[in-house]
Chains A and B, each alone.
Chain A
Amino acid sequence: MVNILYFAWVRERIGIPKESVETNATTVRELVFELRQREERYEIAFSDLDSLRVALDQDLVDFDAPLAGAKEVAFFPPMTGG
């Protein structure tokens, strides 16, 4: 079981801020693949990974990072702070 968080327009497109999912994915990319199979709103939100960023347990990683027991996965657009 992994907790998934969504922020900014990713949250708006998927329609919820967070959820818990059962997954057999071993990498972030595999998890995204599983999510995209679920419903069209996921397919739309994850259609362009270049426009997305991901954090595992609050650390930025790339999409090939192993899930390796991560408790929290967060998907969001490139950050616009400052």
Chain B
Amino acid sequence: MQISVQSDPFDFGHIADEFAKGHTHMGAVVTFTGIVRDDDLGGLDVMEIEHYPGMTQAAITKFAEYARDRWDLGDVLVIHRYGALKPGDMIMMVATAARHRVNAFEAAEYLMDYLKSRAPFWKKEFVNGTARWVEAKPEDEDALSRWD
């Protein structure tokens, strides 16, 4: 299991390749990558991601351990960045390895839902020089209930 909360960029291709290697009993690897999305008018200058250093790593580790046990994963990886990012930058990635693809997909979706609403990150967008905090969406909260 690898959990990393970092400001530096990560090499998605290399990490995905290393993750997929050596799992002789795992038939499925799923990866997901989140990218900073510009607004429709191309006005996003910067997205700043703040986090709660004392809590973030532990919270993500808890979700990842739960996912590993619930979906019988052979391995799980989560990388999430903080700091100033630009449109097109990779914010985060999740990778899961399981014997069969259904478990790998479901575990990755679970991790995405929990990272969105339960990992202590907050996004602030600077659009055409004006700052605003990104608000949580009710549907993100609803998405969690399907894992109860």
Interchain CB contact under 8 A, A81 and B54: no
CB of A72 within 8 A of CB of B54, answer yes
Q: Is the CB of B46 closer than 8 A to any CB of chain A?
A: no
Give chain B's interface residue range (CB within 8 Å of chain A): 20 to 34
Whether A7 lies near B120 (C-beta < 8 A) is yes
- Chain B, interface SS category: mixed
Question: How far does the Cβ of A8 sit from chain B's closest Cβ, in whole Å?
Answer: 4
Nearest CB in chain B: distance from A81 CB, A: 4
> Is there contact, CB below 8 Å, between B134 and A80?
yes
Interface size of A by CB at 8 A reads: 16
- Contacts A8-B50, A58-B59, A74-B55 known; A79 to B118 CB distance under 8 Å? yes
Which B residues are within 8 Å of any A CB, using their own CB?
Answer: 34, 50, 52, 54-55, 58-59, 80, 91-92, 112, 115-124, 133-136, 141
Binding site for B on A (CB under 8 A): 5, 7-9, 55, 58, 60, 72, 74, 76-82
